[in-house]
Structure 1
């Protein structure tokens, strides 16, 4: 009997170490940043069972077999669509500002399509203005409406957006609505999905969260894009979720969320349409390529630099392209660089680029919220402040609410706005979208918005920061340890 139990114990011990060895190999074989790999290995060896389970859940970018097959099946038709679109050369710019030239070349080579010209673009800095403009455009829609958001929370003006969408569907406009399962959990538990489907709106719950499938797909991979497309001509994107900030997370103690949205008219809507089509195909298997009928897009010739490039990230998109675009943009700065983000957990490359910009004489400002809805990120981001301040970066803490705007402005000319936070999750994991805008008028408008943020912020003094309590430094370093995994 003792021999039997001894064999069982040895088998269990052997299986235990075999499992650890197998997961260790998975960590080491996949090429990733060294700090990330080291963090995973330390967690696995310090807390083996917890570390192994955590890695299997969150360690690799696993879209799931069915979604991966749908993505693979979609791209041949998407590639042909892009080739056909490039057959209309008048849509693409052959001019750019000096500061934007490198990043636009990168996007063209990596994504297969150049920057688009002839777009009208308007920066919306008020949630009321953005929602009212959206309601107006949805009401006037004639052919199709495609919408994707991370969060949709009913209440306030969002109710009117939903009513306008259902009314448009009832009068024959094709309406598709895709919302993230985790971000819009309260929406999917409400009567609204049924009401919208009854009105003819095709509602899809993206990346459905299911405990039964936690080991088959990475559950924290989220659909984080924010896009509205109307009639293949009007497009919205930015940092704002489909929420009324006067009602959203009012019990979090961080104030109202502050966001921006860009409203665009022109060829850029079709480029964003192919991104939505890919997301839709991944979730439903249905291919809905945007129309290439040039009559649907009145071309607006312009004499000044005016081009927009759309960058998508996430499974199925060129890996790391938004990260590369940020790096190139930062290195292109010659005079000023202003960045706003609610979550500051930069990669080593981004941190080095920002510090180098300040050290070579660029006036660098980073604006982050003083109070954050994520305690983990709030403490981890503070671990980067000392290095940034020592390099001469000016860090401002916004005190007028939770600054949720994601923006980069280089030399008041090149703007990057969209859904991407300066953290690992946005840069390497989630489905995100960034607009690269080479336009001096838009840059001027964004600069005024950022100047307003600066006026409502408190500058962190390097000397005062260096004298902060020692216990705070310990907490910062503790959470910094997990920063490669955030």
Structure 2
């Protein structure tokens, strides 16, 4: 009788089980998701597409901050912090006092980052702005060839193409010469790296590890190491938006095989000085996690640096192992402390409520707020989600430019005349909550002027949105944007 009942009613039973499972997962999502908008997006997925929504949540939605899947990495970072805490506290306080005329009203940002992540503001740095791969890669290769003790690299994307092989050859050459070479790649972003490529590097003495290797039905793919860090001999570092791949260089020899590739607009920094020590610290924390080791804090990794540069540098970093979204908080602090201008470039613009409101508040307060985004993103959904935020911003006086020369991938912010931010974090919820990211906060009138000029030049190749024209763009576009915005916290 039971078997006959199951046979006669299996469809109803399956629906009950499916919705029961969906309800259990919905409770889990509510309990573990801190962001209200993100929780609502998960609930929409779960109940509008039951079954598939459950699978999506299990793949990408489990809250890593709650489950502490990165607890081993977090504990490793704590041990490093304890060893350096007193030294860093003293350095941060002295630098702020000595350079108060340059930092001015941005002191609160420096204090926030130190108290939240123990990242000090450092003096005696020379910072060079590198526009596009055409400037980044020659500077990087020159620095790699000059390495004497160690090379530490960490990239989201590393491809085995022309530029990838050129970098690989240098790394192998230096490793054979006795230089310690350590390389971390993201297993999702660099999924095209083949085993032969890795074996070749390891055979030459390069130590290579993936960051949190992806496995089936584990939501590791949602928590990506989006950082791009290079540290050479503890005194020279690189940070920014440019990965290792031919697409980031707008020179013919790199693009002959791909004529459809767009012009790639991106920004990177080369730092020489004390600020590199924080990049080193971050790399060591990531390396200890990936390689399951404990790199020592020695003079070789943190050497005395004789640089008399005028630029102040502070590094902001966060990820799923952070107690708070430090990247988002630092962006928010920078916008709130702007007195005259805020220029933001980001390829993906899906702000949370705090950033969205801060931009409106700044514009309504008379601050010159400008936003540069791609004319067409490499994701239609992201493009539609970003567009849903434009009308309220335009109504408050934010000027929005859509870049049309190619694809703008730079992640930068210029605030007033003394603060520049260049790094890996987009102005979106993924960078705030899901990815491991890193930004450089540079207090420098020189770097600020250069980055401001680069921003204004980019705007010459962009279309500025007009509020009335944007309001008249059509009901279908507005409806699509509204629908996509519902799930935008998950993009």
Using the size of structure 1 for normalisation, the TM-score is 0.92
1:101-250 superposed matches below 5 A: 101-186=107-192, 188-189=193-194, 191-211=196-216, 214-215=217-218, 217-244=219-246, 245=248, 246=250, 247=254
Q: Which residue of 1 aligns with 2:298?
A: 291
1:76-87 superposed matches below 5 A: 76-83=78-85, 85-86=87-88
Q: Which residue of 1 aligns with 2:486?
A: 481
Q: Distance in 1 between matches of 2:256 and 2:65?
A: 29
Deviation at 1:289, TM superposition (A): 4.1
Deviations 1:248-303 (A, max 9, x none): 7986956122111110111211211111111112222111244346982324356x
Between the two proteins, the alignment pairs up a number of residues equal to 480
Q: Which residue of 2 aligns with 1:264?
A: 271
Deviations 1:289-347 (A, max 9, x none): 44346982324356x6x321111111323421111111111011111110000001111
Deviations 1:325-381 (A, max 9, x none): 111110111111100000011111111111111111111110011121111101111
Q: Distance in 1 between matches of 2:294 and 2:24?
A: 39
1:308-347 superposed matches below 5 A: 308-347=313-352
Question: Structure 1 residues 91, 230: CA separation in 2 closer, same or farther (over 3 Å shift)?
Answer: farther
Q: Which residue of 1 aligns with 2:54?
A: 52
Q: CA RMSD in A?
A: 2.6
Note if contact 2:226-2:437 (Cα within 8 Å) is conserved in structure 1: yes
Secondary structure of the 1:339 match is strand
Q: Which residue of 2 aligns with 1:362?
A: 367
Segments of 5+ residues of structure 1 without an aligned counterpart are none
Note if contact 1:248-1:256 (Cα within 8 Å) is conserved in structure 2: no
Question: Structure 1 residues 207, 256: CA separation in 2 closer, same or farther (over 3 Å shift)?
Answer: farther
Q: Which residue of 2 aligns with 1:462?
A: 467
Secondary structure of the 1:315 match is coil
Deviation at 1:155, TM superposition (A): 2.9
Q: Distance in 2 between matches of 1:249 and 1:375?
A: 26
Secondary structure of the 2:349 match is coil
Segments of 5+ residues of structure 2 without an aligned counterpart are none
Q: Which residue of 1 aligns with 2:5?
A: 5
1:15-94 superposed matches below 5 A: 15-62=17-64, 68-83=70-85, 85-86=87-88, 89=91, 93-94=95-96
Q: Distance in 1 between matches of 2:49 and 2:318?
A: 32
Note if contact 1:273-1:289 (Cα within 8 Å) is conserved in structure 2: no
Note if contact 2:272-2:307 (Cα within 8 Å) is conserved in structure 1: no
Question: Structure 1 residues 21, 249: CA separation in 2 closer, same or farther (over 3 Å shift)?
Answer: farther
Moved more, 19-28 or 138-147: 19-28
Question: Structure 1 residues 109, 73: CA separation in 2 closer, same or farther (over 3 Å shift)?
Answer: closer
Moved more, 65-74 or 307-316: 65-74
Deviations 1:416-464 (A, max 9, x none): 1100001111111101101111111111111111111111111111121
Deviations 1:3-27 (A, max 9, x none): 7635995876664444223212112
Deviation at 1:2, TM superposition (A): 4.6
Match of 2:400 among 395, 399, 408: 395
Q: Which residue of 1 aligns with 2:377?
A: 372
Secondary structure of the 2:234 match is coil
Q: Distance in 2 between matches of 1:326 and 1:295?
A: 28
Q: Which residue of 1 aligns with 2:286?
A: 279
Deviations 1:74-131 (A, max 9, x none): 1342123322643874995123422321111101111224211111111111312211
Secondary structure of the 1:103 match is helix
Using the size of structure 2 for normalisation, the TM-score is 0.91
Q: Distance in 1 between matches of 2:31 and 2:358?
A: 28
Question: Structure 1 residues 300, 2: CA separation in 2 closer, same or farther (over 3 Å shift)?
Answer: closer
Q: Distance in 2 between matches of 1:373 and 1:197?
A: 34
Q: Distance in 2 between matches of 1:430 and 1:340?
A: 19
Moved more, 393-402 or 288-297: 288-297
Note if contact 2:351-2:427 (Cα within 8 Å) is conserved in structure 1: yes
Note if contact 1:70-1:282 (Cα within 8 Å) is conserved in structure 2: yes
Secondary structure of the 2:421 match is strand
Q: Distance in 2 between matches of 1:169 and 1:315?
A: 32
Secondary structure of the 1:296 match is coil
